[in-house]
Amino acid sequence: MASIPTPSLVAQAAAILEAATSLQRQLEQHGLQQPSFEAGGRKDWHDAIEHPEVLRARSALIDASNLMLNMALGPMDILSSLVGPAVSKVDVFRTLDALGVSEAVPLDTPISIDDLAARVGANPRLLRQQLRFAYLMGIFYEPREGYVAHTSISAAIPSLSAWTRMRLGYLMSSGAWRIPEALRIWQDSPPPGHVQVPVSLADSKGRDFWSALQEEDPENRGMEKFSSAMKALFASHSGNSLGPFVTGFDWAGLGDGLVVDVGGGNGHIEVSILNAVPSGLNFVIQDQETNRGLAIENIRQHGAADRIQFQVHDFFHPQPPHLRPKAYLLSRILHDWQDGDCVRILRNLVPGMEEHAAQLFVMERVLPDRSGDIPNHMEQLIRTQDLLMFTER
């Protein structure tokens, strides 16, 4: 039996130093901000999207550091951490985000825990218990006894809150508990319908994810919150860069005309790329009635009503015959559905594609064929989404 290649601790430390040196040097060369835990420090790495060598050095540093950490921990401590500190990290993060602690802490000055507790309506002693663990993660810090202040990590929490609250909410979390059962049910092949999907197994009424999402929301805003969560998730992956949308499709080749964003949510993609695509292109955002208000307000705020319209439409039904699109856009739609459902969605686009020679633009993440094809930490991110899709759909 072949052994697993394992570097020595010193060799791995050298790999870390090499990667860190390369990253720091390249950041200096390109005039990019160095990493920092200060509240105004680097929030993400999307300013480096035009410098792939920076991102490669960063990936090398992350993977080398993670390997060193696992070597230093050893098997028992790794496993123990998965059912100990790793779980506490999620629990503390969820608790502080749900309480709105990040928004309640001033960005530029410390606040006493007593005052903070009053702001968020929590017990001061118990809130400090949560914060003490958060400090260990670099989320907030204690500048002096009894006071709390922001780090760059805690200051970034609100930008992801819509996704955090969706992902760590009861609906998605409860589905994870039923994954073993679902794997046994799916032993030979996927069963028909949705009732054996983990989320549906966990739901007391056996509902699919979308029905439970909307029906269980006390404000009847489940789909609207989902769209906001997707916007936050996309921003966490892509930051302020909409480069993949701007450069990934041949917008100029469409000429003037209409692009239909099928399942386009609140239109946050279109309002962001409108000035980067030909001025002769207009957009129709198609989604559920529950997204109408948020989408229209989003379009209004960006002054884009002359080029972007919202249309209530269910993509499991035929496309409206009066539309004459130059292209259909499916942005992060197909991964949400099983193969048969994807066929139904695509089949409803075929008549428009045939009649109007409309193109089909698809934006999705693609899983690597083999481990090692992409950096380990990036593959973990993509496979996290893959596992989540099985849990929900």
- Is the domain spanning 84-157 CATH 1.10.10.10? The answer is yes
Please name the residues in contact with 146: beta carbons below 8 A apart, sequence gap of 6 or more: 112, 113, 114
Q: From its phi and psi, is residue 48 left (phi > 0), alpha (psi between -120 and 50) or beta?
A: alpha
Within 8 A by CB and 6+ apart from 145, the residues are: none
Q: What is the CA radius of gyration of the chain?
A: 23
Give, rounded to a whole angstrom, the gap between the first and last alpha carbons of the chain: 39
Is residue 240 predicted with pLDDT exceeding 60?
Answer: no
Kindly give the pairing relationship between strand 325-331 and strand 257-262: parallel
Other beta carbons within 10 angstroms of residue 198's beta carbon come to 24
Identify the CATH assignment for 241-363 out of 3.30.200.20, 3.40.50.11890, 1.10.10.10, 3.40.50.150. 3.40.50.150
Domains 84-157 and 241-363 alike in fold: no
Cβ neighbourhood burial of 154 (10 Å; 0-12, 13-18, 19+):
buried
In the chain, domain spans: 9-78, 84-157, 241-363
DSSP 3-state of 120: helix
Element (H, E) at 141: none
pLDDT for the residue 232: 79
| Beta carbons within 8 Å of 27's beta carbon, 6+ residues apart | 33, 34, 48, 54
Helix (H) or strand (E) holding 300: helix 292-301
| Local confidence band at 65 (pLDDT 50, 70, 90 cut-offs) | very high
What's the pTM? 0.83
Distant-in-sequence, close-in-space partners of 348: CB < 8 Å, separation ≥ 6: 315, 316, 317, 318, 319
Q: Tell me the residue length of the chain.
A: 393
- Per-residue model confidence (pLDDT) at position 339: 85
pLDDT of residue 218: 83
Count the neighbouring beta carbons within 10 Å of the beta carbon of residue 172. Answer: 18
Task: Please answer whether residues 266 and 241 qualify as being in contact, where contact means their C-beta atoms are separated by less than 8 angstroms.
Answer: no
| Tens of pLDDT, residues 338-358 | 888 899 999 999 999 999 999
Tens digits of residue pLDDT in 167-215: 999 999 999 999 999 888 877 766 666 567 899 999 999 898 888 988 8
